[in-house]
Amino acid sequence: MPITILIGAQWGDEGKGRVVDWMAASADIVARYAGGDNAGHTVALDGEVYKLHLIPSGILHSKVVSVMGNGMVINPDNLVREIQALRKIGVDISPERLVISSRAHIITPAHIALDKAKELALGDDKIGTTLRGIGPAYLDKTGRAGIRTGDMLLDVEEFAERLVAAIEMSNEELRAQGLDTLDALQAAQSYLQAADFLRPYIRDVSIYLYEALKAGKKVLCEGAQGTLLDIDHGSYPFVTSSSPTAGGALTGLGVGPLFVDNVLGVAKAFSTRVGGGPMPTELDGAIAEHFRGSGANFWDEFGTTTGRPRRCGWLDVVMLRYAVGVNGLSELMLTKMDILSGLDELKLATAYNIDGELFAFPPVTNEQLERAKPVYETLPGWSEDISNCRRFDDLPSAARDYIKRVAQLCDAPINMVSVGPERDQLVMNPAG
Ligand code: IMP
């Protein structure tokens, strides 16, 4: 380390939570820098399944301090609920173990109402958001009208006043759309209690991290969502409203680039997406069902936050190559390799054919992307269950060839693959 940034290299849900959980064993601090409770990071540990939406996945390691950065948008009620739920199952959470930036923005109940209203107004063109108020909260942030976690340090009347004013402001928008407004005073009540609860956790995260880095601590930055959902670098407007890419870690935590040693990308061994927007390798039918699973297991392809079935398709190397470039990835990690077992053959989209022209990277407009026809390379599949493999050489040769080919096509080494949801279901690839 000192700083390792770990990002999602696809459309989110790459299995970052389990990789962060594994890497956190050698970190002092795990810091989230973007997004809010639209994220759903799942960690399986000793048969227990932990679903984290706001708190960094490092919280499951008792020696790690978890940090929530200024780039996040936080629903205080949901954060308190998450802390209490984790405490109930024995996870120790105190201000020594969880640090919340004073500069993160607060999602109000009115932001959630506005998120729903906006999606409704878009009709068939809706983005398919998680309806957590993410977009409206970031809109108020960049419009310089938001309220911040640091406002919870004010005295209670002053915080209440700001909160009510912010809700009233959003109410005007709801009214303009002919929708029900919120009783601002009532909506603010639970937030006042949450503020009381969260106050001891709030501080200046940038200075906290600067001092920790100067003291030689190792920081792991945990990305949420994925590169292709990035507000700048994703398929706009079908994106989230924050910067999940590596650059977002610096602005979302207030740390300088010279501390960064590594940028790691996590990608699933196939593609998934939730919500609207282009997805060139999307499949219908038996293979999509194979990838998605039945929903009986927590690792099946149904949203952790929304429960929506995920769209599934072959691995899109064009998008992965783009993620390697946009994030400057030093390494890729492939998750869910075990799900590929049992398919006769596997396809990799190595390029797009758009109106007869070949593209190695995504085209610049969504209109072109909508017309993109994947150019597939077919590789042999394997039938063996690989979930007990722990060494690269234990994998069937077809699985090893798949990994090597993806690494070659993306021009990034693949040093780790996961073969199941448990902490130890990992295969290291010393050859990269
Ligand atoms: P929002 O972040 O709720 O505004 O949703 C914007 C888009 O990002 C929608 O397509 C969501 O499905 C997608 N999205 C947001 N968070 C996640 C995530 O954690 N995993 C996968 N997709 C996400």
Q: For residue 1, name the pLDDT band (cuts at 50, 70, 90).
A: low
Site to substitute for ligand 1 among 130, 227, 245, most atoms within 8 A of C-beta: 130
Q: How much is the mean pLDDT over the chain?
A: 95
**pLDDT at 395 > cutoff 90:** yes
**pLDDT at 430 > cutoff 70:** no
Residue 130 CA: which ligand 1 atom is closest? 3
| Alpha carbon of 38 to ligand 1 centroid (Å) | 6
In this prediction, residues 101-110 reach a mean pLDDT of 97
Which residues form the catalytic set?
Answer: 13, 41
The protein residue whose alpha carbon is closest to atom 5 in ligand 1 is 129
**Ligand 1 pocket, residue 39 CB under 6 Å:** yes
**Ligand 1 pocket, residue 231 CB under 6 Å:** no
Site to substitute for ligand 1 among 11, 13, 20, 38, most atoms within 8 A of C-beta: 38
**Ligand 1 pocket, residue 275 CB under 6 Å:** yes
Give the tens place of pLDDT for each residue, 198-227.
999 999 999 999 999 999 999 999 999 999
What was the pLDDT predicted at 106? 98
Contacts of 171 (CB under 8 A, 6+ apart): 110, 181, 182, 184
What was the pLDDT predicted at 266? 98
